[in-house]
A and B are shown apart, each in its own frame.
Chain A
């Protein structure tokens, strides 16, 4: 079983809509959860991280964590074409990061 699972997509949403990206993880002891954005040919860049149950908002981005259900999600409000990228979910467990395979998001103008 993979440590971190994501739907590979692609997820297509129209410009201005809310994009919802989901991630599940297998280890209940995981401590921190990260969302990275990766444009084609570029290295991942951190968007947000969350470590407590509930929601965390930063601009158009909201991360949601539910430790009981072992899932973490990322909502992107008012999606823009520039948000089109692959979004990687990462879980930190004892200083090791485990990455999901990523969800490709397409925001159509």
Chain B
């Protein structure tokens, strides 16, 4: 199964600034996903990042606010732009990879973002 790391693990940012979160996978994967998990809530898919093409955003999320890069099959970044306190959340990178019995989704450790 894929091993995923994220940087930073946490950050406290000022309103109006931007933060770029990095996701690194130890193997080549086709599909990478970015999720948001607000306090006490479940995971909400922000976008799917495919190498060599533009990210596909879910309803309610736009590229200007959450630009994503996917330069190769092991790396992706998510930028949270022009942050407001409502963006305070845990941001999780995940990948689809071959598990014990089929394709499974594995999660990185997450980035805990607090916007003041």
CB contacts (< 8 Å) of A90 on chain B: these are 105
Check B60 for interface membership: any CB of A closer than 8 A: no
B45, B102, B106, B107: the one within 8 Å of A49 (CB): B102
A43, A92, A95, A102: the one within 8 Å of B107 (CB): A43
Number of interface residues of B (CB under 8 A): 20
Check A101 for interface membership: any CB of B closer than 8 A: yes
- A97, B45: Cβ atoms under 8 Å? yes
- A96, B45: Cβ atoms under 8 Å? yes
A interface footprint on B35-61 (CB within 8 Å = 1, 0 otherwise): 000000111110010000000000000
B interface footprint on A1-25 (CB within 8 Å = 1, 0 otherwise): 0000000000000000000000000
Complex CA gap A11/B91 in Å reads 27
- B92, A32: Cβ atoms under 8 Å? no
CB contacts (< 8 Å) of A46 on chain B: these are 99, 104-106
List A residues 62-109 near B (Cβ within 8 Å). Answer: 88, 90, 92, 95-102
B41, B45, B107: the one within 8 Å of A45 (CB): B107
- A44, B45: Cβ atoms under 8 Å? no
CB contacts (< 8 Å) of B102 on chain A: these are 32, 49, 51
Closest to A100 in B: B42
CB contacts (< 8 Å) of A88 on chain B: these are 42-43
List B residues 1-58 near A (Cβ within 8 Å). Answer: 31, 33, 41-45, 48
Spell out A's residues near B (CB within 8 Å): 32, 34, 42-46, 49, 51, 88, 90, 92, 95-102
What are 13 contact pairs spanning A and B, CB under 8 A?
A34-B104, A42-B109, A43-B107, A43-B110, A45-B107, A46-B104, A90-B105, A92-B105, A95-B31, A96-B45, A97-B33, A97-B45, A99-B43
